[in-house]
Structure 1
């Protein structure tokens, strides 16, 4: 998916300089110059403005954590699964957890803290099927494992994919770029889904319910999605799985035998 995004952005005139180091910067008045080094060569890049996007880390320096004895590491507090600090009556949520630094992650963690600290309903955080979206054009949305993660975990998996160019709503709106990928393990259990395309973040919501709710893929395949909508791509990638089974040589052989027996009975 990352390669696809890079290709789309390259076509729009964006240049990528990977595995490089910034070694200098100058203000030239009407332009800014950045010096980058890759290997033994140094290149000067000029632009009207420079945007620095280096991420963020939790601000723990001024919280007085050492004075009250709350354990922490360089970028996060030490927490258990119930989001309790090393002082069990003090909880934490948001960027200080050091996990997913998203607004919706902070909201989820806040709910866990509320259940544990106020309502006294034991809850633990579980990020197994946590969704996230990168708002590029087209959008990239993911939940669960991707291929790299599945490989690192030593899992056997199969990938099913469907392109937006095969979706009628996507064609009608001129949004033909992107695809959906669904990863299944060897027992055909859902490992993860990645969407790259128009409104990918919105389309991922259905998969959030499927994965967190334990919904069977057959339920999704048999559900009716309104036509023409982008959401049909979710159903289509699942029906591809069952179509492969239905039209397999083994199934064709079984159906042939069945109809032959039925024909003899009718005769």
Structure 2
């Protein structure tokens, strides 16, 4: 039986970073998984969805040549070949996967074990993968999450799509209905609408993207209306069936039962942590349907077994998993001297325009600090936004009484790029005055960040 300093269970974003860092630090490392290395982000999430979105945005921009870009007299005809688009999506997946194939890690000295049965704990120091048993001093559970199914009559019979099987679709549907109004639905729905598919989003709550800032949410929902995306909110799905080859969703809204017909249905009501089948109880690891319980150092109830990424609450982001992976390696080597701090965790919705957030929302800041906070908003009318005809959007910054940033919400072109400056401000407690005195290149999108600080301080004088 082989013995390791660390066994990493799960070879997604968190697992790959963990195994690589641990190996670099001289720890004898094994990484195990039940599927392709790279995890959901590479094969089913970030990479394919952003590729599809990018292509769809480019196609949509062609229809705006005259209206938005002042290129009069140029006409665009024809419709994109969806099968070719999906070929490009899968080509990009393979390009990324080339850097994460098992042999890449084996060449670095990391033992990689893959078996569709997955990992099973025998006891608190032993894990089984296939027919092999591995002993470890430390283990990390980084098994990620998977799409949540619905226990609704007819759900399986209508052939529902999700992030696992959508990327193998080669024929563009004339119509598609999304279940759930979260980030996954928002991004793929806009892409499909741009490509000419009739899109409907069905959400049980009062708004789609209801978890984001209210003003930002209103702005992106208005964009969706302009895109021709229909939203049915406050709807409870009752059943599914097929009629003339199409899927029919039966739902109830305002106590009235209605039907929605679509060629395809995409299910995205949320994701569930992958905790089943590992026999966690054998190792004394406590968990629930929400994920694995961890302390501030990301230790589970069994102190030498850690967990990170989607399998740990809150948030399900690749960059959260990567951050926590580095934290765990540090804590294993240095005696748990760093706490898991997500107070400056940014996130982005890659729609057009992009939506971005970091830190506390205006609502949360008011609940925590009361009337002592200051909220300042700058519209996307900064020069670079004007030159690029991208003036739709704004940034809202929440300051404390001493002019330190508590949080920021943004919607606008490339918001996911310049939100990072607010992340730095929060993480390193940089006061507004420091940004005011910093030179920003002109004309750039990130100037909106400097304008937010300078105008805020000017208003306070």
Instruction: Answer yes or no: is 1:192 the counterpart of 2:407.
Output: yes
1:27-53 superposed Cα distances (whole Å, 9 cap, x missing partner): 234532212211221222222221111
Instruction: Answer yes or no: is 1:230 the counterpart of 2:440.
Output: no
* More displaced 10-residue stretch of structure 1: 65-74 or 102-111: 65-74
Number of the residue aligned with 1:221? 436
Number of the residue aligned with 1:107? 322
The correspondence for 2:375, drawn from 155, 159, 165, is 159
Structure 1 CA distance for aligned equivalents of residues 336 and 253 of structure 2: 54
Number of the residue aligned with 2:302? 87
1:128 Cα deviation from its structure 2 partner: 1.3
The correspondence for 1:45, drawn from 250, 254, 260, is 260
Structure 2 CA distance for aligned equivalents of residues 214 and 184 of structure 1: 11
Structure 1 CA distance for aligned equivalents of residues 248 and 370 of structure 2: 46
1:187 Cα deviation from its structure 2 partner: 3.6
Structure 2 CA distance for aligned equivalents of residues 30 and 72 of structure 1: 42
Number of the residue aligned with 1:31? 246
Structure 2 CA distance for partners of 1:80 and 1:22, relative to 1, 3 Å: same
- Counterpart contact for 2:404–2:426, Cα < 8 Å: no
Number of the residue aligned with 1:264? none
Structure 1 CA distance for aligned equivalents of residues 239 and 355 of structure 2: 32
SS of corresponding position for 2:319? helix
Structure 2 CA distance for aligned equivalents of residues 131 and 101 of structure 1: 12
Structure 2 CA distance for aligned equivalents of residues 218 and 30 of structure 1: 62
Is there any run of 5+ residues in structure 1 with no aligned partner, and where?
247-267
Structure 1 CA distance for aligned equivalents of residues 438 and 402 of structure 2: 22
Structure 1 CA distance for aligned equivalents of residues 247 and 312 of structure 2: 37
Number of the residue aligned with 1:10? 225
Number of the residue aligned with 1:180? 395
1:104 Cα deviation from its structure 2 partner: 0.4
Instruction: Answer yes or no: is 1:55 the counterpart of 2:270.
Output: yes
Structure 2 CA distance for aligned equivalents of residues 8 and 149 of structure 1: 26
- Counterpart contact for 1:109–1:125, Cα < 8 Å: yes
- Counterpart contact for 2:403–2:431, Cα < 8 Å: no
- Counterpart contact for 1:60–1:75, Cα < 8 Å: no
1:170 Cα deviation from its structure 2 partner: 1.1
SS of corresponding position for 1:26? strand
Is there any run of 5+ residues in structure 2 with no aligned partner, and where?
1-215
1:152 Cα deviation from its structure 2 partner: 3.0
Structure 2 CA distance for partners of 1:41 and 1:121, relative to 1, 3 Å: closer
Structure 2 CA distance for aligned equivalents of residues 216 and 154 of structure 1: 18
1:210-239 superposed Cα distances (whole Å, 9 cap, x missing partner): 110111210101111111111110000111
Structure 1 CA distance for aligned equivalents of residues 421 and 407 of structure 2: 13
- Counterpart contact for 2:432–2:457, Cα < 8 Å: no
Which gives a bigger RCO, structure 1 or 2 (Cα 8 Å, sep 6+)? Answer: 2
- Counterpart contact for 2:359–2:423, Cα < 8 Å: no
Number of the residue aligned with 2:355? 140
Number of the residue aligned with 1:253? none
- Counterpart contact for 1:155–1:185, Cα < 8 Å: no
1:3-58 superposed Cα distances (whole Å, 9 cap, x missing partner): 11111111211111111101122223453221221122122222222111122111
SS of corresponding position for 2:396? strand
Structure 2 CA distance for aligned equivalents of residues 119 and 236 of structure 1: 42
SS of corresponding position for 1:224? coil
Structure 2 CA distance for aligned equivalents of residues 34 and 118 of structure 1: 53
- Counterpart contact for 2:356–2:409, Cα < 8 Å: yes
- Compute the RMSD of aligned alpha carbons: 1.6
How many residues are paired up?
A: 245
